[in-house]
Structure 1
Amino acid sequence: MAYRQVLLLAVAVAVAVACLAPLASAKQWVVGDEGGWRAKFNETGWANGKTFLVGDSLLFVYPKESHTVVKVGKDAFAACDLGANLQLGNWTGGNDVVQLDKPGKAWFICNKPNHCLNGMKLAVDVAVAVAPAPPPSAAPLTGYTVGGAVVAVACAVFAAALAL
């Protein structure tokens, strides 16, 4: 009985590690780096050259009495529309984490008067993460990826252990 419990625990840990490994590669970007989310932010070109992926997050750090973070659509971003629909996202805490949960453009502004007009706005392109292809010599023969095969074996062992 103790053997089955140890086996079950080992398999459960292996499955959890295999399933959670892709999440470990997500990155949290501190918007504006050391300067944080601030006036004239857009003049720095902070997002230039960065690759934002689905699963990453943006950390907006700012004095909560002075600024906000509002996720807006393309037109509201271009016009600095302070009355934009806040249902896309509205943060006021000063230490706000925003998940990048889908590919495409994401637009953010500060909706304090004149802040957006003075460059406190951010647009990011969010891409889908693509796993690197294995080297030709390591290509699996069955068409499954090595990681997928490990998960499949772990699941099969787990199911067999439960059946015991």
Structure 2
Amino acid sequence: MGPKLMSSIASLFLLGALLQVVSAVDHDVGGDFGWNLPPNTTFFSDWASNKAFSVGDKLVFRSKANEMHDVAEPNSEVDLDGCVKPGIVFSTSAVFSVALDRPGRRYFICTIGNHCNAGMKFDIDVLAQPGAPNSPLVPPPPPSSASSLRFGALLAAFSGLLLTIVA
């Protein structure tokens, strides 16, 4: 292979790796089930517990057309547990998204009827950057295929950069 072709290939690897590292994720709340009355009170907490959320990601709340739900963000865990309706309710539309624009703990509930007490509530930890804990006291999440892909993307980026320099 000629040096020009090697340089082009390395540049493509570098570009692909960088796009993978900085890409945000849209999380469909509740997966295929959506933001609807859950089958049990821990459904949404269970859904959120095995996800990693980072600044730049979005939560997408999708409700069935025949069900009325909203999205509100309580101020604290006490308010989440007690299903306390905050002063601002975000939406009553069938599809609504919330940008995760700052690191830290975030809480979400449905304030309509008894929906929150029925389990339409959850909390998440939003990381400052993918794979970075919010504080030294918070242990990092267990390795996942997403973090392995990010590591692989970084490795590919550095390899591509090295090949470009050497060639």
Kept in 1, the 8 Å contact 2:34–2:62? The answer is yes
Query: What amino acid sits opposite 2:57 in the alignment?
Result: D
1:63 deviation in Å?
Answer: 3.3
Identical-residue share of aligned pairs (%): 32
Question: What residue in structure 1 maps to residue 36 of structure 2?
Answer: 38
**Greater RCO, CA 8 A, separation 6+:** 2
Pairing of 1:10-159 with structure 2 (within 5 A) = 21=19, 25-40=23-38, 42-44=41-43, 45-63=46-64, 65-74=67-76, 75-82=78-85, 84-86=86-88, 90-130=90-130
The number of aligned residues is: 117
Q: Secondary structure at the match of 2:122?
A: strand
Kept in 1, the 8 Å contact 2:106–2:125? The answer is yes
Query: What amino acid sits opposite 1:126 in the alignment?
Result: V
Give distance in 1, aligned partners of 2:125 and 2:22.
21
Kept in 2, the 8 Å contact 1:42–1:122? The answer is no
Q: Could you say which structure has the larger radius of gyration?
A: 1
Q: What TM-score results when the alignment is normalised by the length of structure 2? A: 0.60
Q: Secondary structure at the match of 1:72?
A: coil
Query: Which stretches of structure 1, 4 residues or longer, exceed 3 Å deviation after superposition?
Result: 20-24, 130-135
Give distance in 2, aligned partners of 1:26 and 1:94.
23
Give distance in 2, aligned partners of 1:38 and 1:31.
10
1:93 deviation in Å?
Answer: 1.3
RMSD across aligned positions (CA): 2.8
5+ residue gaps in structure 1? Answer: 1-16, 140-145, 147-164
Kept in 1, the 8 Å contact 2:72–2:109? The answer is yes
